[in-house]
Copies of this chain bind each other. A is one copy, B any other.
Amino acid sequence: MSRAARGRPQPFTVDVVAVTPRDGELAVLLERENAGNNGRERWMLPWEAPRGDEQLDDVAQQVAREAIGAAPSWISQVGAFADGRHPSDTDLSVAYVALAPLGTDTQGDDRVWRPVRDLAGLGERQEAIVQGALTAVRDRLDLYPIAFRLLPGAFTLSELQQMYELLLGRRLHKASFRRALQAAYLVEPTDEWRSEGRGRPAQLYRYAPKRRRRSRRGVRFDLLG
């Protein structure tokens, strides 16, 4: 950071999209914007204008921790956004996406988990930021343990598969999913089982990556065309 700006608030913000699974869909954390209460409610993503001597990642981590009420299980920069109105009236926002494990709850009326299909009350820029964050999560799903970070430490393979299905937005084949998981040496079984209603109880697993994948066969041409 420049000497001039040391300690003073920056003319840009760090915005955090906190994501968690909730009621079978993804939800993001919104805070009430206590601007002039002229009729309809206005909401916003948690944000902060960093001081001049802070690193972006540290600020994002801090904003996420305060909003979620615990350290995020994963955090990553999404990009810079300048279009549209922002609660801070700054010209630029650096966006981050942060993951909160399943079951993370908030308290109070001014901080809520809202399903991503209904972001009414959010400003233009922050709505674009949420879309960018969700795209970033999907794009990085195969490289980072995102699905695992949205689950508690112990989980069933069906829960893990459902998390992947939720993030990808499509169904997966059970046998294939487990075969690929096995081959990747990413999980190890615990000696616990969980019984939910009817049906055979499921064994609990934990995330415990062992080997490194080094495949990358061929090239993929997944261009939209």
Seen from chain A, the residues whose Cβ lies within 8 Å of a Cβ on chain B are: 1-2, 4-5, 10-12, 52, 55-56, 77-80, 82-83, 89-92, 94, 139, 141-145, 164, 168, 170, 172-173, 176-177, 180-181, 183-186, 209-213, 215-216, 218-225
Contacts and interface: CB of A to CB of B under 8 A. Distances in A.
Contacts of A219: 141-142, 164, 168, 172, 177, 180
Given A80-B56, A219-B172, A91 B10 contact: yes
A209 B223 CA distance: 8
Contact of A143 (B94, B181, B215, B223): B223
B213 A142 contact: no
Nearest first, the 6 A-B pairs at minimum CB distance are: A209-B225, A184-B221, A142-B220, A80-B94, A80-B80, A56-B82
A143 B55 contact: no
Given A177-B218, A186-B223, 16 more contacts: A1-B82, A5-B91, A12-B12, A55-B83, A56-B80, A77-B79, A78-B79, A79-B79, A80-B94, A142-B220, A143-B222, A164-B219, A172-B218, A184-B221, A186-B221, A213-B225
A56 B225 CA distance: 26
A82 B225 CA distance: 35
A145 B211 CA distance: 32
A141 to B, nearest CB: 8
